[in-house]
Amino acid sequence: MKIRNMVCVLLCFAMVLLIGGCASKPKDSKPNPDYSAYAFAGDQWYRDTEGDLETLCFRTNGEFRYSCACGSPVDDADLVESYTYDDATKTFTLHYCEEVDGCITQIKLISCDAEKLELDFEGEIRTFWKEEPQPDTTEDISASYTVDLTKISPMILEHSQSEVITAAKAVIHSFLQYETQTQIQVSGNTQRFLNDMVYVIHCTCPMFGAFTDFSEMTSYDQTSGTVSWNYVVDREEFDRKLEEFHAVAENLLSTVDQNDTQTMRALVLYHALIADLQYDESLLGENYNLLTPEEANLKSSPYWTLVEKSGICTNIAQAYLFLCTQADIPCGTVLHTGGSGMHMWNVLEIDGLYYYCDPTWDADSSGKYFGMTAADRGDWAGGYSDQEGTMLGVTIPEVYEINDSRFAELRNKLPVELSDIRIDQEEQTITFVGYAYEFCFSCQ
Pair 175, 63 in one domain: no
**Residue 4 has what pLDDT?**
43
Pair 225, 78 in one domain: no
**321 in Cβ contact with 291 (< 8 Å):** no
Q: How far is CA 56 from the centre of its chain?
A: 34
pLDDT in tens, 65-111: 887 765 544 544 556 778 999 999 999 998 877 665 657 778 999 99
Pair 94, 223 in one domain: no
Q: Cα dist. 325→148, 207, 289, 318, 407 in Å?
A: 9, 16, 33, 10, 21
pLDDT in tens, 110-138: 999 989 999 998 888 899 998 877 665 55
Residue 144 forms part of a structural domain: no
**Residue 14 has what pLDDT?**
38
* Of the residues 129, 162, 193, the one at which a domain ends: 129
Pair 124, 176 in one domain: no
* Of the residues 79, 112, 129, the one at which a domain ends: 129
Pair 312, 239 in one domain: yes
Pair 92, 166 in one domain: no
Indicate left, alpha or beta for 341 from its phi (over 0: left) and psi (-120 to 50: alpha): left
Domains in the chain, number = 2
Pair 158, 84 in one domain: no
Residue 9 forms part of a structural domain: no
Over residues 338-354, the mean pLDDT reads: 91
Q: How far is CA 4 from the centre of its chain?
A: 101
Residue 5 forms part of a structural domain: no
**Whole-number mean pLDDT of the chain?**
86
Residue 4 forms part of a structural domain: no
pLDDT in tens, 370-393: 999 999 999 999 999 988 999 999
Pair 93, 218 in one domain: no
Q: What's the domain range around 301?
A: 154-442
pLDDT in tens, 16-40: 333 344 334 344 445 678 999 999 9
141 pLDDT more than 90: no
HEC letters along the chain:
CHHHHHHHHHHHHHHHHHHHHHHHCCCCCCCCCCCCCCCCECCEEEEEECCEEEEEEECCCCEEEEECCCCCCCCCHHHEEEEEEECCCCEEEEEECCCCCCCCCEEEEEEECCCEEEEEECCEEEEEECCCCCCCCCCCCCCCCCCCCCCCCHHHHHHCCHHHHHHHHHHHHHHHCCCCEEECCCCCCHHHHHHHHHHHHHHHCCHHHHHECCCCCCCEECCCCEEECCECCCHHHHHHHHHHHHHHHHHHHCCCCCCCCHHHHHHHHHHHHHCCCEECHHHCHHHHHCCCHHHHHHHCCHHHHHHHCEECHHHHHHHHHHHHHHCCCCEEEEEECCCCCCEEEEEEEECCEEEEECCCCCCCCCCCCEEECHHHHHCCCCCCCHHHEEECCEEHHHHCCCCCCCCHHHHHHCCCCEEEEEEECCCCEEEEEECCCEEEEECC
DSSP bridge partners of 346: 333, 357
Pair 65, 209 in one domain: no
Pair 119, 167 in one domain: no
**Residue 20 has what pLDDT?**
44
**Residue 434 has what pLDDT?**
84
Q: Cα dist. 232→119, 173, 219, 237, 308 in Å?
A: 53, 18, 15, 10, 18
360 pLDDT more than 80: yes
Residue 134 forms part of a structural domain: no
